[in-house]
């Protein structure tokens, strides 16, 4: 039995701010339990829902040094859907209304968490073969394992994997502060270890000391070796190229299933979408006050409204796009300029544009089910989950060819009759508009072709099972069997 421990700062259903939570919560369920014992460890935040706290079982507590501090470490346990979750308790570090605030406080909080992950293992009598660390918040786990946990027999031979979900976030602060927080010696603050451009860098530490590195798509694994996408660590990624691989994220096919989804008014599947999907469109048009027209092409956007997601391109061509026979439905919050941009176009083209500047999981499902196409023109996108959800619902993605978008959306080829969506290459507003208009042309003039693309999209398998098989192979290779 191979033992794997996931160290993460968030996991569904307990706490979620982004895609990391989906990975850490959903992926462990997909491994063959005859061969893999996969458990998850995360902080016991004050903002975790009371219904989960009520189910947690107190195990024990002890005290641990962190820099000059002596810290309380409580351990709680909960079993959920066959997976054991451990929660590290410390009210000083994990209080507050949300899991993340700002540096340097977050760095101290996750330095504590990283060291506690290792410290609790002998106490709970679980010696993993591999600790699978996710993003900068757990970047110090491989470092501490290398530093102060190598003395005893218990920790010797434990391997670590570092998974990058988004290289933009690295956990960076000045060296004296990071050194004081972590209690690590000056040896670690050199350019070939934690130091990067004269700062201390949690993620870099994890990437240097981990036995293997993964990221969330093949294309992103290649992109981060280049200066444009490498966020200052491209040299390190090139140096570790033999230890780096991309494995695309999945989505939970039980949660995102148009046949059983209770959030959408009309259920459908790959056989019935021609008659049933359109009913969801009319229902959403009615709910949002758009012109009710079943034949009108509806384009959806569900996203954080940030530069990374390509909204400067959309802003540039929005007036032109609104001259076309399309409707646009937007859901999400983010940077003020984009929130206001969509509000403006909602006001200007009220029967064509619906800007919903909030976030709601049920509403996102309604948009995936109702729309004909889904727009995602990201500047960079490590994996992306929204395009996987739209494929699942037969809503054809229009994406830029970057990261996971390139790996998961096959562009339509009218001569070969292949493809599951539409894509463009350069980060250019009018190139994007040209591809949107090509999609419109197919939608309006070649309806049978459009439906065949939907057929192909809905038969794609981006469930967690295929990702889990690739991780199993990685774990076996790392353990050496």
DSSP 410: P
The pLDDT assigned to 150 comes to 81
Angle between helical axes of 140-147 and 105-124 (0-180°, round to 10)? 60
Clarify whether residues 209 and 288 are in a common domain.
no
Clarify whether residues 446 and 471 are in a common domain.
no
Clarify whether residues 168 and 205 are in a common domain.
yes
Clarify whether residues 474 and 368 are in a common domain.
no
Beta bridge partners of 333: none
Percent of the chain with pLDDT over 90: 96
Which tens digits make up the pLDDT trace of 399-443? 999 999 999 999 999 999 999 999 999 999 999 999 999 999 999
Q: What's the maximum distance between 2 C-alpha atoms anywhere in the chain? A: 70
Clarify whether residues 139 and 81 are in a common domain.
yes
Which tens digits make up the pLDDT trace of 281-328? 999 999 999 999 999 999 999 999 999 999 999 999 999 999 999 999
E runs forming strands in 325-434: 326-331, 353-356, 373-376, 396-400, 422-424
Q: Does any domain span residue 266?
A: no
The pLDDT assigned to 152 comes to 78
The pLDDT assigned to 186 comes to 97
- Number of domains present in the structure of the chain: 2
The Cα–Cα gap between 369 and 84 comes to 34
Clarify whether residues 7 and 78 are in a common domain.
yes
Task: Give the chain's mean pLDDT.
Answer: 96
- Phi and psi at residue 463, to the nearest 5°: -75, 170
Clarify whether residues 230 and 297 are in a common domain.
no
The pLDDT assigned to 287 comes to 97
3-state secondary structure of 353: strand
The pLDDT assigned to 481 comes to 67
Contact 251, 389 (CB under 8 A): yes
Q: What domain range includes position 285?
A: 273-461
Clarify whether residues 322 and 183 are in a common domain.
no
Clarify whether residues 302 and 425 are in a common domain.
yes
- pLDDT at 203 > cutoff 90: yes
CATH of residue 183 = 3.40.50.2000
Q: Does any domain span residue 8?
A: yes
Distances (CA, A) of 321 to 272, 299, 358: 30, 11, 23
Clarify whether residues 246 and 348 are in a common domain.
no
């Amino acid at each position: 039995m191979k033992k794997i421990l996931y160290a993460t700062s968030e996991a569904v259903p307990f706490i979620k701010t982004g895609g990391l939570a989906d990975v850490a919560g959903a992926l462990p369920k997909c491994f063959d339990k005859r061969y893999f014992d996969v458990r998850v460890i995360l902080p016991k935040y004050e903002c975790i829902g009371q219904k989960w706290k009520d189910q947690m079982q107190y195990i024990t507590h002890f005290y641990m040094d962190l820099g000059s501090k002596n810290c309380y470490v409580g351990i709680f346990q909960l079993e959920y859907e066959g997976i054991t979750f451990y929660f590290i308790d410390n009210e000083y570090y994990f209080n507050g209304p949300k899991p993340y605030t700002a540096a340097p406080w977050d760095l101290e909080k996750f330095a504590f968490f990283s060291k506690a992950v290792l410290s609790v293992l002998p106490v709970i009598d679980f010696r993993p073969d591999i600790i699978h660390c996710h993003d900068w918040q757990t970047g110090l786990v491989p470092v501490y394992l290398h530093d102060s946990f190598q003395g005893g027999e218990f920790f010797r031979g434990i391997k670590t994997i570092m998974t990058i979900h988004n290289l933009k976030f690295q956990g960076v602060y000045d060296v004296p502060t990071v050194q004081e927080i972590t209690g690590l010696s000056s040896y670690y603050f050199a350019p070939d270890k934690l130091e990067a451009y004269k700062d201390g860098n949690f993620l870099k530490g994890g990437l240097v000391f981990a036995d293997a590195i993964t990221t969330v798509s093949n294309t992103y694994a290649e992109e981060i070796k280049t200066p444009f996408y490498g966020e200052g660590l491209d040299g390190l990624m090139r140096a570790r190229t033999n230890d780096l691989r991309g494995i695309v994220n999945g989505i939970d096919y039980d949660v995102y299933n148009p046949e059983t989804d209770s959030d959408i008014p009309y259920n459908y599947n790959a056989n019935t979408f021609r008659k049933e999907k359109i009913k969801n469109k009319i229902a959403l048009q009615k709910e949002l006050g758009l012109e009710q027209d079943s034949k009108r092409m509806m384009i959806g956007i569900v996203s954080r409204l940030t530069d990374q997601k390509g909204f400067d391109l959309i802003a540039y061509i929005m007036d032109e796009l609104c001259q076309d026979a399309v409707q646009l439905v937007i859901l999400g919050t983010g940077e003020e300029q984009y929130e206001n941009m969509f509000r403006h176009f909602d006001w200007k083209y009220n029967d064509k544009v619906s800007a919903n500047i909030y976030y709601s999981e049920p509403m996102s499902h309604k948009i995936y089910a109702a729309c004909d196409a889904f727009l995602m023109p990201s500047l960079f996108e490590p994996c992306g989950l929204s395009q996987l959800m739209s494929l699942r619902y037969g809503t054809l993605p229009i994406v830029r060819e970057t990261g996971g978008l390139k790996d998961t959306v096959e562009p339509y080829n009218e001569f070969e009759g292949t493809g599951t969506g539409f894509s463009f290459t350069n980060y250019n507003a009018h190139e994007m508009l040209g591809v949107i208009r090509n999609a419109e042309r197919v939608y309006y003039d070649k309806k049978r072709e459009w439906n065949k693309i939907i057929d192909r999209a809905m038969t794609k398998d981006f469930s967690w099972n295929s990702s889990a098989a690739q991780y199993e192979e990685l774990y076996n290779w790392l353990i050496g069997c």
